[in-house]
């Protein structure tokens, strides 16, 4: 019996092929030992554009566009004013069809998650394939994991609900994103106005925080700090009361000038236990990498994916921070594999693997994939950034299975007249998990380390006193770390009942949140200022237009995510979700068609070809207003959507900077600049890339 195996990427297909003995190379697949192993290049099949249903885009009378049945077509690329099938996708689909037709059964080895399932099912349906299929469901790409997975294949039908959830997600994003974007663009009269089911609520959170921060009125308050000492150990204490009136603070300060001593009113000592942190899921890893290393969420995901494909870590797109009991049995061996690690070797060798912390072990809290772990394979030739992310995952694994951190915390209350002062301090007795990275713990503004031994009613000398002027502070601007946290648990939803309902879902998924943030950058809706995320004028215009509309409703988006999770678990019918999305689409389309929006000419540029007319920006193109000139710049170029800024650079400077992520016809990613040739056609500039490298 011949068996076909389909992976999501060529690199993964090669790993699986080597294990099953399919070593003979052909065009687009490998074969041998009764196996034929082929691959997709991500999404080879997509939902058809409106034209396939007989609808012209950006026509008010056609909205909302709601197909009775969604059509699947091979991946499309822009060709002039129209879309056409990607020749590379057509070629690989033909190869996949040949492989499927030549075999009796199929093993699905696309990534073990919602999108991986959708990639295979769309191909399977498009090719009208009827062959039975089983699922390879693994959490790492080590030889052992692949071998074990092949020996424990699961029926393909067991993942029907996963496919239904993925299909519902794709169709809802098509309905909401396409109709809302076209409706707002029509209302605006021109310009690129991209909205989305998750994208727009995320933009709203960034804009709201920015405006709250900008409009925050800081209020001054005052406190008094006193300095004292015992047995040669000096320490400070701060008044418990915060004075809203400076004169009141000065009155107390003046009384202190005639005082020589402070009375110890109380001393509280207690042992504080700090539990080891849970293992990373993708979102937690992205947040930490942004905080400590300023990595974007997209960069962290990209690096983690490379480490996964290099067999160094488990599947990165996980939403769980726990592992199951059977995986816990492998932890001592993984810890042992770090004994020669340059940074963690000594700590790993010191751990007692017979008595590990089990806080991260819970079978009931493991979703499709367990938390991020290393695989035990020794890393070689990693880049600096790859080593950083690997060490984060390895170090967190050691932390999670280490002992608690134990501290002695002390709080001393001092009194002078009727004024109370408080000093806080703590000393680590047992470092426990904190010894892995040996980083200093962040302390409060007025917190100190070791405090001297004092007793109640003891008098201490008042060495110095001062009035501190402080200001109330707004919530800081969002960073990618704080935004990911807000997307994950809906912290900024003000209604408590809605916030509680969203706690399990948030908006987006661990696998998609980075892409959503990157979309906001590519749409020129947000920009980075150091670590902060700041909306552009364009982003604020969108927010001001839609902030009171359903499309920007964070809690509603969270409800959709929760419904998709219920479909995945078989608790909700996808048809029910689909009908609700259709109603929602009709409502938001009607809302957006009626909005009044003022569009500035900030993106209009002088045409570099005719040098007399303006170039105007539209949803799919930028073109000269002089029809006789004919200058046109298409936004979609080799599967990369050009931002307004990139097009502006092209028009004003003659070329862009390096743009990352173009796709060649065979699906390979490449970076290049864009420039005009002598006829004002847009072409790639690889010389720019070489000069930058040099």
Active-site residue numbers? 315
Angle at 407 between CA 402 and CA 408, to 5 degrees: 160
Cα–Cα–Cα angle for 120, 36, 44, rounded to 5 degrees: 30
- Could you tell me the two tokens for 428? 């680590």
- How far apart CA 470 and CA 218 sit, in angstroms, is 10
Judged by DSSP in three states, 567 sits in helix
Query: β-strand 614-617 against 621-624: which pairing, if any?
Result: antiparallel
Q: Is the CB of residue 320 less than 8 Å from the CB of residue 151? A: no
CA trace torsion 365, 367, 371, 373 (10° rounding)? 130
Phi and psi at residue 163, to the nearest 5° = -65, -45
In degrees and rounded to multiples of 5, residue 239 shows phi and psi of -60, 135
Q: 225 with 262: CB under 8 angstroms?
A: no
Cis amide leading into 293 (omega within 30): no
DSSP per residue, 470-520: EE--PPPPPBHHHHHHHHHH-TT---HHHHHHHTTT-SS-TTTHHHHHHHH
Answer for the pair 138, 146: CB distance below 8 angstroms, yes or no.
Answer: yes
Cα distances from 2 to residues 128, 212, 220, 397, 465, in angstroms, run 19, 63, 77, 41, 85
The closest alpha carbon to 507, from 448, 432, 573, 562, belongs to: 562
Question: Given the structure tokens 């052909």, which residue do they identify?
Answer: 26
Alpha-carbon span 115 to 45, nearest angstrom? 12
Using the structure block, give the residue that is written with the tokens 């080891």.
276
Q: How many CB atoms lie within 10 A of CB 234?
A: 12
Q: Which residue has the tokens 């109330």?
A: 472
């Amino acid at each position: 019996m011949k068996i076909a195996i389909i992976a999501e990427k060529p690199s993964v297909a090669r790993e699986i092929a080597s294990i099953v003995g399919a070593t003979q190379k052909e065009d687009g697949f490998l074969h041998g030992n009764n196996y034929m192993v082929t691959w997709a290049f991500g999404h080879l099949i997509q939902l058809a554009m409106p034209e396939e249903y007989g609808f012209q885009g950006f026509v008010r009378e056609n909205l909302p566009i709601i197909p009775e049945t969604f059509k699947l077509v091979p991946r499309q690329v822009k060709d002039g004013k129209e879309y056409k099938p990607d020749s590379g996708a057509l070629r690989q689909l033909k190869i996949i069809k040949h492989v499927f037709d030549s075999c009796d059964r199929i093993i699905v080895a696309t990534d073990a998650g919602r999108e991986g399932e959708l990639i295979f099912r769309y191909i399977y349906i498009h090719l009208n394939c009827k062959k039975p299929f089983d699922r390879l469901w693994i959490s790492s790409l080590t030889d052992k994991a692949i071998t074990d997975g092949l020996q424990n294949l699961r029926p393909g039908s067991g993942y029907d609900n996963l496919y239904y959830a993925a299909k519902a997600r794709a169709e809802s994003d098509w309905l909401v994103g396409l109709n809302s974007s076209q409706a707002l663009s029509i209302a605006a009269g021109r310009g690129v106005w991209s909205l989305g089911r998750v994208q727009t609520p995320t933009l709203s959170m960034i804009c709201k925080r920015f405006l709250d921060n900008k409009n925050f009125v800081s209020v001054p308050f005052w406190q008094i700090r006193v300095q004292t000492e015992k047995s040669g150990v000096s320490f400070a204490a701060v008044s418990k009361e915060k004075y809203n009136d400076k004169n009141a603070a000065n009155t107390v300060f003046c009384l202190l000038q005639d005082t020589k001593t402070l009375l110890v009113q109380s001393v509280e000592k207690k042992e504080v236990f700090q539990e080891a942190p849970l293992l990373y899921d993708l979102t937690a890893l992205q947040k930490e990498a942004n905080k400590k290393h300023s990595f974007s969420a997209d960069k962290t995901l990209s690096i983690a994916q490379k480490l996964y494909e290099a067999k160094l870590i488990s599947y990165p797109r996980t939403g769980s921070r726990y592992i199951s009991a059977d995986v816990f049995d492998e932890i001592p061996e993984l810890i042992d594999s770090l004994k020669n690690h340059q940074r963690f070797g000594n700590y790993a060798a010191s751990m007692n693997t017979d008595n590990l912390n089990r806080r991260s072990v819970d079978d009931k809290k493991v979703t499709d994939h367990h938390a991020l772990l290393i695989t035990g394979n020794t890393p070689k030739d990693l880049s600096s950034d790859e080593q950083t992310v690997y060490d984060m995952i390895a170090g967190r694994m050691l932390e999670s299975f280490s002992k608690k951190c134990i501290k002695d915390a002390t709080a001393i209350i001092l009194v002078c007249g009727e004024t109370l002062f408080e000093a806080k301090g703590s000393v680590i007795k047992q470092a426990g998990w904190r010894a892995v990275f040996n980083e200093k713990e962040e302390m409060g503004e007025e917190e100190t380390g070791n405090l001297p031994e004092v007793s109640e009613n003891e008098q201490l000398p008042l060495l110095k006193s001062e009035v501190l002027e402080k200001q109330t502070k707004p919530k800081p601007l969002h960073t990618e770390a704080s935004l990911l946290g807000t997307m994950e648990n809906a912290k900024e939803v003000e209604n408590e009942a809605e916030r509680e309902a969203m706690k399990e879902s948030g908006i987006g998924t661990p696998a998609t949140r980075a892409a959503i943030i990157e979309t906001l950058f590519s749409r020129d809706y947000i920009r980075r200022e150091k670590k902060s995320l700041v909306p552009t004028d364009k982003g604020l215009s969108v927010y001001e237009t839609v902030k009171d509309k359903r499309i920007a409703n964070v809690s509603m988006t969270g409800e959709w995510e929760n419904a998709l999770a219920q479909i995945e678990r078989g608790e909700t019918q996808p048809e029910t979700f689909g009908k609700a999305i259709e109603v929602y689409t009709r409502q938001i389309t009607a809302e957006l068609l009626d909005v009044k929006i003022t569009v500035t000419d900030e993106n209009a540029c002088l045409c570099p070809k005719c040098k007399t007319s303006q170039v105007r920006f539209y949803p799919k193109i930028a073109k000269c207003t002089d029809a006789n000139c004919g200058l046109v710049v298409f936004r979609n170029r080799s599967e990369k959507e050009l931002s307004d800024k990139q097009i502006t650079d092209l028009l004003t400077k003659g070329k862009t900077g390096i743009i990352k992520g173009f796709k060649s016809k065979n699906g390979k990613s490449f970076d290049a600049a864009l420039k005009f040739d002598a006829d004002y056609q847009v072409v790639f500039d690889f010389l720019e890339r070489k000069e930058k490298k040099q």
